Amino acid sequence: MKFLEELGIKAVNPGISTGTKWMQGSGDVASFSPVDGLLIGRVGMAGKHEYEEVMQTATRAFEQWRTVPAPRRGEVVRQIGAALRAKKQALGSLVSYEMGKSLQEGLGEVQEMIDICDFAVGLSRQLYGLSMHSERPSHRMYEQWHPLGIVGIISAFNFPVAVWSWNAMLAMVCGNVCVWKPSEKTPLSAIACQHIVAEVLERNGVPEGVLCLINGGHETGELLAADHRVPLVSATGSTRMGKAVAVTVAARLGRCLLELGGNNAIIISRDADLDMALVGSLFGAVGTAGQRCTTTRRLIIHESVYESFKAKLVKAYGQLRIGNPLDESNHVGPLIDQAAVDSYLGAINACKAQGGRFIVEGGVLSGPGYESECYVQPCIAEVEQDYPIVHTETFAPILYLMKYSTLEEAIAIQNNVPQGLSSAIMTLNLREAELFLSAAGSDCGIANVNIGTSGAEIGGAFGGEKETGGGRESGSDAWKNYMRRQTNTINYGTQLPLAQGIKFDV
């Protein structure tokens, strides 16, 4: 495929890089496309020796990079954004082919990378601190922010490039260096990104080790989490994985930035614009074949509009086009692999066993147009909110419907799950909207009105509460995660008074 050649992807690819220098690795892994089941390429995987070489290079790079003025660091990120613009079509196609999301979503993911570069460039001139009045005469107090050092980035398969950029571009302008451990399921997308940024790094004389890539298995992630040289580990993935990372990092008093599971709901009010609600619910539920942490997994629908909205939804599901995601006429591509298909089928069986009634049946799709065994039918089940499966995140296009009578009841149902990432309400009633956004409303990190649960913009901080991990990435003041705060007091007088009026005469 032409886009593979354009991105420098070969049949066998070195998988470890310190920026512009590549290493093959101690072993390798094969990347198969869920689109057609074909082998895309093999990737070298890091062992302990390669890991140590990368970490030593990154440590040396930080000593230089932290002294580069922040606007100059921002200029390098600006050029990375320009390089991504030039490769948007090719990289978006690879993301779609290796991961299975629709081409439009693959291109959208690359656009997120471009957008975060733009955001980071502006941020490079705004790494501000506060100035405070001192209680002591002839004293001035202020705070400033300094880079942390090495930022370890562990990313997931469902957003194989965008989440790395959220972390790396902000960390770079803040003066940090980055070591990226991508998902073993999408290693080639990461390699393509490294090829793109390597040209920019070399052109600007950026120290070797500022942006590093380590393809490896879970052992590599464990090394990052346990490494005292890594003050911050940003990990995206399952709640189970996040808990393991958190324990390891906490044991050495390091910092974690965790973006974990979601079990997101849309409340559909009797005062909703049902056509608008349909669009938000449909894309939220089936986008990326249900493999987003912000996927809509639950619809909580007012009893007065339940039947009419259900009919609209069933009709819309009947019009979905499922197939090769590189064909832009298709809405839904495949799941990532056979393990994901097994999880999907297991959740369907569990839902039925617990009493769920499917109004759109699920199942594995086969025949013409389905070139692998990873294509499944997005499905809908009517459930009760206390079914155990409803409280579980299944990374697949399964949508649960339930009724409510009062908004307070709907909010309680929405909040009554372990996860707390994204949420939404569809209503034209101002009082309902404001209650949903109040302290008595949604307990999620993201709460939307009249849009769905997925499709966050980079300008706002992204992340959630409870078992979602509490992390915040991307916009707003998320940059502070990548820096350490220092409080400074300057005495410009001729005396040395003590705080709190303490006397210490000698």
Give start and end residues of each alpha helix (H) in 329-399: 338-353
What count of other Cβ atoms lies within 10 Å of the Cβ of residue 492? 7
What count of other Cβ atoms lies within 10 Å of the Cβ of residue 277? 26
Q: Which two tokens stand for residue 247?
A: 């324990």
Catalytic residue selected from 259, 393, 432, 473? 259
Phi and psi, residue 153, nearest 5°: -120, 115
Strand 232-236 with 22-23, pairing: unpaired
Q: Which two tokens stand for residue 14?
A: 């070195």
Among residues 366, 371, 291, the alpha carbon closest in space to that of 324 is found at 371
Query: Residue by residue, what is the 3-state secondary structure of 393-422?
Result: CCCCCEEEEEEECCHHHHHHHHHCCCEECE
Sheet holding 12-13, edge to edge: 12-13, 39-45, 27-32
Among residues 164, 214, 161, 165, the alpha carbon closest in space to that of 189 is found at 161
Is 184 marked active-site? no
Among residues 182, 4, 217, the alpha carbon closest in space to that of 90 is found at 4
Task: Name the helix (H) or strand (E) containing 462.
Answer: strand 461-462
Among residues 29, 34, 39, the alpha carbon closest in space to that of 4 is found at 39
CA distance 142 to 358: 60
- Determine contact, residues 129/220, Cβ cutoff 8 Å: no
Q: Which two tokens stand for residue 499?
A: 């705080």
- DSSP letter at 466 equals E
CA distance to 128, 285, 361, 391, 457, per residue, from 340 (Å): 44, 16, 18, 18, 27
CA distance 84 to 86: 5
Among residues 506, 420, 433, the alpha carbon closest in space to that of 467 is found at 420
Angle at 230 between CA 49 and CA 8, to 5 degrees: 60
Phi and psi, residue 187, nearest 5°: -75, -30
- Determine contact, residues 444/421, Cβ cutoff 8 Å: yes
Q: How far is CA 249 from the centre of its chain?
A: 20
Among residues 503, 499, 471, the alpha carbon closest in space to that of 163 is found at 471
What count of other Cβ atoms lies within 10 Å of the Cβ of residue 437? 15
Residues with active-site annotation: 259
